[in-house]
Amino acid sequence: MVNINTTFEGEKNKSDNPFVTNNPTSWCPGCGNFSILDSINQTLHELDYKPQDVLMVSGIGQAAKLPHYIRAHGLNTLHGRAIPAAMGAQAANDTFKLFITSGDGDTYGEGGNHFMHNIRRNLDLVHIVHDNQVYGLTKGQGSPTTAMGQKTRLQFDGMRHDPLNPVALAISLGCGFVARSFSGDPKHLKEMIKAAMAYKGYALIDVMQPCVTFNHVNTFKWYKDRAFYIPETHDPTDKVRAFELAQTFGDAGIPMGILYREEKSTFMQRIPHIDRPLIAYPRKPSDIDGLIDQMV
Amino acid sequence: MVNINTTFEGEKNKSDNPFVTNNPTSWCPGCGNFSILDSINQTLHELDYKPQDVLMVSGIGQAAKLPHYIRAHGLNTLHGRAIPAAMGAQAANDTFKLFITSGDGDTYGEGGNHFMHNIRRNLDLVHIVHDNQVYGLTKGQGSPTTAMGQKTRLQFDGMRHDPLNPVALAISLGCGFVARSFSGDPKHLKEMIKAAMAYKGYALIDVMQPCVTFNHVNTFKWYKDRAFYIPETHDPTDKVRAFELAQTFGDAGIPMGILYREEKSTFMQRIPHIDRPLIAYPRKPSDIDGLIDQMV
Amino acid sequence: MKKTIIVAGAAGEGINTVERFIERILKKVGYEIFSYKNYMSRVRGGYNYSTIVISDKPILSIEDQADYFVALNQVAYANARLQLKEDGICLVEGDPSEEKENLIFDRSLLKEVSKSKNAFSMAAVGALLRVFGCEQEVLNDLNNSKWTDEVNASNMQAAVFGFEKTQPLFAPPENLKTRILMGGNQAVALGALSAGLSFYSAYPMAPSTGIMTYLASVEKEMHIIVEQAEDEIAGIMAAVGASSNGVRAMTGTSGGGFALKVETIGFAAVSETPIVIANVQRPGPATGLPTRTEQADLAFVATASQGEFSRIILAPLTVEDAFYTTFRAFNLADEYQVPVVILTDQLLADTTQSIPKFKTDDLKIERHLNTEITPDYKRYAFDQISGNRKYPGIDAETLIMTDSHVHDEYGAVTEEVEATLALKRKFLKRIEAIKKTLKKPLFYGDQAYETLFITWGSTYGALKDAVDELILKGEKVALLAFSDVFPLDKEVMDPYVSQAKCIINVEGNAMNQFGMILRMETGVMFDASINKYDGRPFSSAYIINEFEVINHGKH
Amino acid sequence: MKKTIIVAGAAGEGINTVERFIERILKKVGYEIFSYKNYMSRVRGGYNYSTIVISDKPILSIEDQADYFVALNQVAYANARLQLKEDGICLVEGDPSEEKENLIFDRSLLKEVSKSKNAFSMAAVGALLRVFGCEQEVLNDLNNSKWTDEVNASNMQAAVFGFEKTQPLFAPPENLKTRILMGGNQAVALGALSAGLSFYSAYPMAPSTGIMTYLASVEKEMHIIVEQAEDEIAGIMAAVGASSNGVRAMTGTSGGGFALKVETIGFAAVSETPIVIANVQRPGPATGLPTRTEQADLAFVATASQGEFSRIILAPLTVEDAFYTTFRAFNLADEYQVPVVILTDQLLADTTQSIPKFKTDDLKIERHLNTEITPDYKRYAFDQISGNRKYPGIDAETLIMTDSHVHDEYGAVTEEVEATLALKRKFLKRIEAIKKTLKKPLFYGDQAYETLFITWGSTYGALKDAVDELILKGEKVALLAFSDVFPLDKEVMDPYVSQAKCIINVEGNAMNQFGMILRMETGVMFDASINKYDGRPFSSAYIINEFEVINHGKH
Ligand SMILES: Cc1ncc(C[n+]2csc(CCOP(=O)(O)OP(=O)(O)O)c2C)c(N)n1
Ligand SMILES: Cc1ncc(C[n+]2csc(CCOP(=O)(O)OP(=O)(O)O)c2C)c(N)n1
Ligand code: SF4
Ligand code: SF4
Ligand SMILES: [Mg+2]
Ligand SMILES: [Mg+2]
């Protein structure tokens, strides 16, 4: 693979980036989360967003702490519940650029049902899953994406479940933007974030993110040795081909880039009777008088 | 389509079928659920099962009442929670033939997360989803499988979510037996139940089931006009082809039969240290003495 | 004058249609109406009935036994005598050859008159309307725009047939023609709409679904979003997400769904995001009795979710009160930035009542926001007990962090001892402030009472009717009805206890949940209790009977 | 003799290793140990510390201030003075040039002696072991089989260096060499295993995860299944499913996860399926303080789930009690076929204590099953308050229906009034039966007490140590500690109230949840309370201080 940048490449223009904070993080030194944060910061800055334009939603986990480390609006909810919170937030006011940044356990485990059904709603947001194939914050249990047989701090004899294939799952659910990237390749990651931001609808980026503390199998090197850029010949609008490509993972190589793309109407576009942000409708008690009069 | 039998064909040998009860049901006359119940009853009887060998698990809904209408062990749990209950039940005693019979809302809606993750566990059971594309018991709201735009008793202007494709979803999750059948074709349905019972692992049968009361779109005729038997040329072991076939639904036709098949180790096979039903291990307080002695 | 009609039959046989026609027309001609649906958890078949009480004075509860019983099928007919008063009349279809009692509608004659498959039930409607003194022209209202003209015409023929079979016995009172017919779920929905509700997300669950259905039916007209969530967790979390972005948002469910919302209630509390949650109670535990009534979730709701925080529970007393109480709920939620639970029940949900038009002029939406640009704004200032709220986008500058941890005043995660204590103390202070803001209980009855009944929520209706009857019988009784049930002010009982010789707690559960909370909070003990926990609502007759048993026990 | 060591540094710097070496060896040579981990919700960095109390007599609580403070980094060093007693000693690595106090380990010397990256912490271990009178040979135990021989060797060199730097000050007592070191989570896990646990399914959540981790580590040896569920709902539902098929099953979590289990608790109750649920409390609301301690879920747990039913809540008093109480939990769950909650907290979970070996001889597994073939067996007989349970496959014939509705005696769904009442009355009777079965509170202290402290769960430890100290000071005090906290028997307080001049409620929350329940159930009011709700555990010093404030207020 090419272009592995340091996880801190963004540091150079930190000073004039309004998204960057000096808040100490509680992440481990060397963790892949730093580079994801930097990539988000930089992309937003390069695209001239202002902190006031952006709402970062998360659940609970190491990844989910991200909203505390960026200057933007934040909504740090409960473990597994970022997505429905984002749904409500978007319904209330769809003028923010909406991000979800959360872990693989948060998104595909505890939050699995919301993941499934909000893809069906086609919320308009960028969902960045920090997929370290482990539960980081709770100290090393297997996550839905941990490989069968892989030993963990809880599964002493190895995982007994088939791993979830998040990109194949998202494609099968009709997610209109399904991509994979790598925290160790911030250039690619930024590209993906930009493409996801440009997409109108549910844009999923499953990001391979080494957990240096608890996942000694899926390391930086493990990802680097296996990842490859999806060839240009791939037609991301072909759902069946995308599904086929999504089957490739692990030793067979890990395709990075946009696996699937499909344009479709978004959550808010499907509610045509709302023609402005919901928050902008003026409301008063007598609004119901018409309804009452019909009842006499 | 061929061979549409009456929904009551099973009646003829009711008298000597030990699974058949005289319990009055609370289903509407003409409902597709009757034929599903009959097909299960008959299949079990034909295969010489005894009521004591069978455990029927369900959630809550019209379909989920089924365990009350069959002579067998029953476990009628909460809305959406049949699957984890079945998981525990199987862990405790895997000598029963295990069925889940539940609705589309129960399985794919409230219970969606369990559906995803227990396919990954590969429980050894037959999961019959009574897919009437509506919430029956709560009187006609849209379910996850209701078509976009379809009007319901709650969605007055039509559904705003892309419908869930349960068979494509199951295939993407690696479910090893994915089939579709029709309550209006009990012969086919029984065939599918037999094949599912013969399969070791998570066997999903999504059954098209007309709800005569609340779904006036997906009627018996609607299904009958669209359903077709999957041609023999289909190779159910080819996951990508199966996924492709699974994309066909609605006016383009509805493939009936086994879409996907894959042999894999089951939940209990993956726990090799348990070599008999868990319930069969004798236990006594002093079993821990060895552990304690290590601690001195 | 007070008469009760019961319409009984199987699900799907048209009970609701008969009920609706009778209610709508008798209300229109000036009667007071109070009706309640008693139905099974099934879609077709079974044994269901609606009880409609008709009076010239406001009524607040049903009677168990009817003056008129419309039997839509044989099972209903078999039940008729059990549900009729001694001199009650049963309306039933039959063959002249069969031995039937009371008002028999000859099946073959009916068939001649009308082709409608609902011929009998329409004839019964016609007959009853005449009994209550309606002119024949009101039958023109027996139209349903969803049916074909043909169906409406043959229905009308049957109704005329029935009309002609009876004689007027009562005359409509000349008063309340501008009243509206309202159900409890609809009143909650309208209360929310009048409060400026913008977003409602919920998962269907009897008996709460009616709130969502009504809101969905006016979604376009009111420019709101009603979202059917994938599960109850999503239902409340989406509502909290919407509220965190500034709109008024709500979710609703029954006990089983409420159970799934419990974690998010704590999130709303610690993130100080206003949220209104309707719990329309049904009997538990677990699936319990899905379409029946009970008041057994109060203790659960009062302590639901880990840790300690401030919350409010409001239990509307009547259909009318459900509207105003729901309106208040939103102002309270915004003022104190807390979860507010509207605790109703299937009784209230499936009650239809004639009530005065809601007066929206006197209502005022109070958002308690801070819309100014405030340098160094502290979203979670430790001394902010109420108000001063900002949400993202409320001004051009302020960044807002909505957080689920123990946090500092800006919302940043912290584990400091000082912040932990400050947060807790803020919540404690808030509880005290809320106690002083909530509505005092409603006192009703004999000022010189010796017996004081205590109740909460929908049980008020039957209790008030019972108190009226007991006073007529010469008993010195009064009642105290709490709509604002939690938190309770320590002093709330002080004005009442000294006078009461006997305090009787009346509630629709077995464990006296409210009575126990009252005891815990105020130290006041009740001397006796009247409980109902068979899934069916209280009637005033039941309360009077129990009161007499208690009194007898004392003598 | 009672001395306290604090080991402080960042997450990932080896605090646990130092703690474990010290504990294990000092226990082995005969000391009593009581230690507690104070840590942040993060994986690396931050400021964490372990407090280890060492004594020749049993101890039940930590001290806030240490005699010895091992500073693993500069932040820790900066904190040292705040956490040391006046005459306490700080062990720290440094350059001789720097101005450091107390026991400085010369960095360059250390580097010469040992290549270990943990040289300083190992040296500190060596130094402390000598202070407590160990022979040099015990250093041979400073081996970790997970490390290479090389690492173990250089660690040993550093330890020897430290050992030689100090002098023995104390001598190991000659008593308790067969004691075991035990943590609260492990004690719960072992209690469950001794009770015949077969199936544990749960979702990770601090501070409860240790129960699951320990069980998983012995999964093969004990022939059990430990399943990480996809969420907490699945965790409990799978356990109930397993229990419905006859095995003893359990789930565990903390408050936020418990919130998600609430609906299924009602299912277990109405389906009369025995289930044991550990809730290891941490401070809420919502995410709260994930790795800290509080006792603020009691009211929540006591009423969680819609409707009314019987349940049991047990709150172990100590690590040792956690074992026996968990064992009892399973027998109680089987006897009454109810949900039993083990309510511990992070304090107990992250306490390590030297205790006597568990005695399994006196324990008896009681399943209360019916294994005979019983014609017309009624799974839910309305008069069956305890026992007589069958599950599928227990005999060759009986079919079992496990159901979540109101049902008849066989488990068939019903909506009948009679069945509804019978089910409820059965649950009420069961509650009364349970009250008589549960363990009475533990009384400890001066028989001639004037002040009676009331407490529950893990707060007992600090309170007992406080009572000991107060009695030494001449105060007439005693305590009453409840492990069986719910349901409470009305008469439980009768033997104690008349003598007490002052009742002080002591619990780790702000709202006196137990005190309020006690008041509700027994009418007994407390006169004052001592509370802690900053996320940190009680110490006896804190209680004594608060007691003196209360006493002072009275004079
Ligand atoms: C309801 C609930 N259950 C469990 C937890 C404990 N918990 C916190 S984070 C986490 C998993 C974290 O894994 P992941 O989402 O992959 O994030 P990571 O830490 O790996 O970035 C868990 C189980 C919780 N906070 N709330
Ligand atoms: C926690 C919870 N939420 C909601 C309900 C209400 N409820 C009962 S059945 C049902 C949906 C039924 O739809 P489906 O599963 O498709 O079954 P069907 O009735 O169509 O056979 C719902 C929402 C419930 N009982 N419990
Ligand atoms: S535990 Fe893993 S994921 Fe979490 S911060 Fe540390 S390295 Fe990153
Ligand atoms: S409501 Fe629909 S699904 Fe339910 S029994 Fe009636 S027809 Fe069948
Ligand atoms: Mg992770
Ligand atoms: Mg359905």
Domain of residue C29, CATH code: 3.40.920.10
Rounded to the nearest 10°, the torsion over CA D513, D519, D525, D528 is 0
Over range A77-91, report the average pLDDT. Answer: 98
Are residues D335 and D475 both part of a single domain?
Answer: no
| pLDDT in the model for residue D555 | 55
With a cut of 50, list the residues of chain D below it in pLDDT: none
Q: Which two tokens stand for residue A112?
A: 């699995």
Return the higher-pLDDT residue of C523 and D507. D507
Residue C362 lies in a domain: no
| pLDDT in the model for residue D554 | 63
Per-residue pLDDT band for A81 (boundaries 50, 70, 90) equals very high
Over range C326-340, report the average pLDDT. Answer: 98
CA distance B109 to chain C (A): 6
* Cis amide prior to C207 (ω within 30 degrees): yes
Look over chain C and give the mean of its residue pLDDT values, rounded to a whole number: 95
Q: How far apart are CA C357 and CA C363, in angstroms?
A: 14
| pLDDT in the model for residue D178 | 79
Considering only residues 16 to 35 of chain A, which have any Cβ-Cβ distance to chain D shorter than 8 Å?
Answer: 26-29
| pLDDT in the model for residue A9 | 47
Of D255, D267, D520, nearest to C520 by CB-CB distance is D520
Per-residue pLDDT band for B82 (boundaries 50, 70, 90) equals very high
In short, whether C43's Cβ falls inside 6 Å of ligand 4 is yes
Are residues D136 and D217 both part of a single domain?
Answer: no
Question: Which chains have at least 3 CB atom pairs separated by less than 8 Å from chain C?
Answer: A, B, D
Are residues C220 and C120 both part of a single domain?
Answer: no
Over range C339-354, report the average pLDDT. Answer: 97
**Nearest Cα to Cα of residue C135 among C18, C23, C29:** C29
Nearest protein CA to atom 8 of ligand 3, as residue: A31
Model confidence pLDDT, tens digit, residues C218-252: 999 999 999 999 999 999 999 999 999 999 999 99
Domains in chain C: how many in total?
3
Residue ranges per structural domain of chain A: 30-295
* CA of B79, closest atom in ligand 2: 26
Q: What is the CATH number of the domain that holds D205?
A: 3.40.50.970
* CA of A59, closest atom in ligand 1: 15
Region of poorest pLDDT, from A85-89, B167-171, D104-108, D220-224 = D104-108
| pLDDT in the model for residue B23 | 87
Model confidence pLDDT, tens digit, residues C467-516: 999 999 999 999 999 999 999 999 999 999 999 999 999 999 999 999 99
Are residues C235 and C159 both part of a single domain?
Answer: no
In three state form, how does the secondary structure of chain B look?
CCCCCCCCHHHHHHHHCCCECCCCCCCCCCCCHHHHHHHHHHHHHHCCCCHHHEEEEECCCCHHHHHHHECCEEEECCCCCHHHHHHHHHHHCCCCEEEEEEEHHHHHHHCHHHHHHHHHHCCCEEEEEEECCCECCCCCECCCCCCCCCCCCCCCCCCCCCCCCHHHHHHHCCCCEEEEEECCCHHHHHHHHHHHHHCCCEEEEEEECCCCCCCCCCCHHHHHHHEEECCCCCCCCCHHHHHHHHCCCHHHCEEEEEEEECCCCCCCCCCCCCCCCHHHCCCCHHHHHHHHHCCC
| pLDDT in the model for residue D104 | 87
Decide if A32 contacts A210 (C-beta within 8 A): yes
Element containing residue D26 per DSSP (H, E): helix D15-28
| pLDDT in the model for residue C183 | 97
Over range C52-69, report the average pLDDT. Answer: 95
DSSP string, D122-159: HHHHHHHHHHTT--GGGGGG---TTS-HHHHHHHHHHH
Model confidence pLDDT, tens digit, residues B90-114: 999 999 999 999 999 999 999 999 9
Are residues D252 and D205 both part of a single domain?
Answer: yes
Rounded to the nearest 10°, the torsion over CA C92, C93, C95, C100 is -10
Nearest protein CA to atom 2 of ligand 4, as residue: B211
**Nearest Cα to Cα of residue D533 among D553, D552, D506:** D506
Residue C417 lies in a domain: no
Contact assignment for A295 to C240 by CB distance below 8 Å:
no
Residue D533 lies in a domain: yes
Over range B196-209, report the average pLDDT. Answer: 98
* CA A183 / ligand 5 centre spacing (Å): 13
Are residues D7 and D144 both part of a single domain?
Answer: yes
Are residues C156 and C216 both part of a single domain?
Answer: no
Kindly state whether C541 is in contact with chain B, defined as any CB-CB distance less than 8 angstroms.
Answer: no
Domain end, chosen from C330, C356, C382, is at C356
Contact assignment for C284 to D296 by CB distance below 8 Å:
no
A150 pLDDT above the threshold of 90: yes
Q: How far apart are CA B11 and CA A9, in angstroms?
A: 74
Could you identify the residue written with the tokens 């199951």? B170
Q: Which two tokens stand for residue C313?
A: 């529970």
Question: Which chains have at least 3 CB atom pairs separated by less than 8 Å from chain D?
Answer: A, B, C
Return the higher-pLDDT residue of C34 and B10. C34
| pLDDT in the model for residue D176 | 60
Give me the domain span that covers residue D466.
442-554
| pLDDT in the model for residue D355 | 96
Are residues C142 and C197 both part of a single domain?
Answer: no
Kindly state whether D40 is in contact with chain C, defined as any CB-CB distance less than 8 angstroms.
Answer: yes
| pLDDT in the model for residue D266 | 98
**Nearest Cα to Cα of residue C354 among C135, C51, C49, C30:** C30
Kindly state whether B289 is in contact with chain D, defined as any CB-CB distance less than 8 angstroms.
Answer: yes
B75 pLDDT above the threshold of 70: yes
Model confidence pLDDT, tens digit, residues A204-262: 999 999 999 999 999 999 999 999 999 999 999 999 999 999 999 999 999 999 999 99
Share of chain B above pLDDT 70, in %: 95
Kindly state whether A5 is in contact with chain D, defined as any CB-CB distance less than 8 angstroms.
Answer: no
Superfamily of domain A30-295: Thiamin diphosphate (ThDP)-binding fold, Pyr/PP domains (3.40.50.970)
Model confidence pLDDT, tens digit, residues B132-161: 999 999 999 999 999 999 999 999 999 999
| pLDDT in the model for residue C103 | 87
Per-residue pLDDT band for B13 (boundaries 50, 70, 90) equals low
Domain end, chosen from C117, C137, C165, is at C165
C335 pLDDT above the threshold of 60: yes
Model confidence pLDDT, tens digit, residues A156-201: 999 999 999 999 999 999 999 999 999 999 999 999 999 999 999 9
Residue C374 lies in a domain: no
In short, whether C203's Cβ falls inside 6 Å of ligand 2 is yes
| pLDDT in the model for residue B259 | 98
In short, whether B205's Cβ falls inside 6 Å of ligand 4 is no
| pLDDT in the model for residue D175 | 67
| pLDDT in the model for residue C323 | 98
Nearest protein CA to atom 6 of ligand 3, as residue: A28
| pLDDT in the model for residue A7 | 44
Residue D388 lies in a domain: no
Are residues D83 and D137 both part of a single domain?
Answer: yes
Task: State the Cα angle at A276 between C264 and C197, rounded to 5°.
Answer: 40
Q: Which of chain B's residues have a Cβ under 8 Å away from the Cβ of C205?
A: 138
Kindly state whether A173 is in contact with chain C, defined as any CB-CB distance less than 8 angstroms.
Answer: no
Model confidence pLDDT, tens digit, residues D457-476: 999 999 999 999 999 999 99
In short, whether B212's Cβ falls inside 6 Å of ligand 4 is yes
Q: How far apart are CA D280 and CA D295, in angstroms?
A: 9
Over range C204-216, report the average pLDDT. Answer: 98
A15 pLDDT above the threshold of 50: yes
B46 pLDDT above the threshold of 80: yes
Kindly state whether A179 is in contact with chain B, defined as any CB-CB distance less than 8 angstroms.
Answer: no
Q: How many CB pairs under 8 A join B and D?
A: 197
Kindly state whether B19 is in contact with chain A, defined as any CB-CB distance less than 8 angstroms.
Answer: no
Of C42, C204, C217, nearest to B135 by CB-CB distance is C204
CA B283 to each of CA D197, D362, D367: distance values in angstroms, whole numbers, following the listed order:
8, 15, 12
Are residues C104 and C39 both part of a single domain?
Answer: yes
Considering only residues 230 to 249 of chain D, which have any Cβ-Cβ distance to chain C shorter than 8 Å?
Answer: 233
Could you identify the residue written with the tokens 């913008």? C198
Kindly state whether C328 is in contact with chain D, defined as any CB-CB distance less than 8 angstroms.
Answer: no
Residue D394 lies in a domain: no
Q: How far apart are CA D109 and CA B103, in angstroms?
A: 73
A2 pLDDT above the threshold of 60: no
Per-residue pLDDT band for C48 (boundaries 50, 70, 90) equals very high
In short, whether A211's Cβ falls inside 6 Å of ligand 3 is yes
Q: How far apart are CA D432 and CA D443, in angstroms?
A: 23
Are residues D303 and D340 both part of a single domain?
Answer: yes
Per-residue pLDDT band for C555 (boundaries 50, 70, 90) equals low
Ligand number, closest to the Cα atom of B112: 2
Domain end, chosen from C295, C323, C356, is at C356
In short, whether B33's Cβ falls inside 6 Å of ligand 4 is yes
Predicted TM-score of the model (pTM): 0.97
Q: What is the CATH number of the domain that holds D535?
A: 3.40.50.920
| pLDDT in the model for residue A13 | 56
Q: How far apart are CA D424 and CA D445, in angstroms?
A: 41
Ligand number, closest to the Cα atom of C286: 2
Phi, psi dihedrals of residue D36, rounded to the nearest 5°: -145, 140
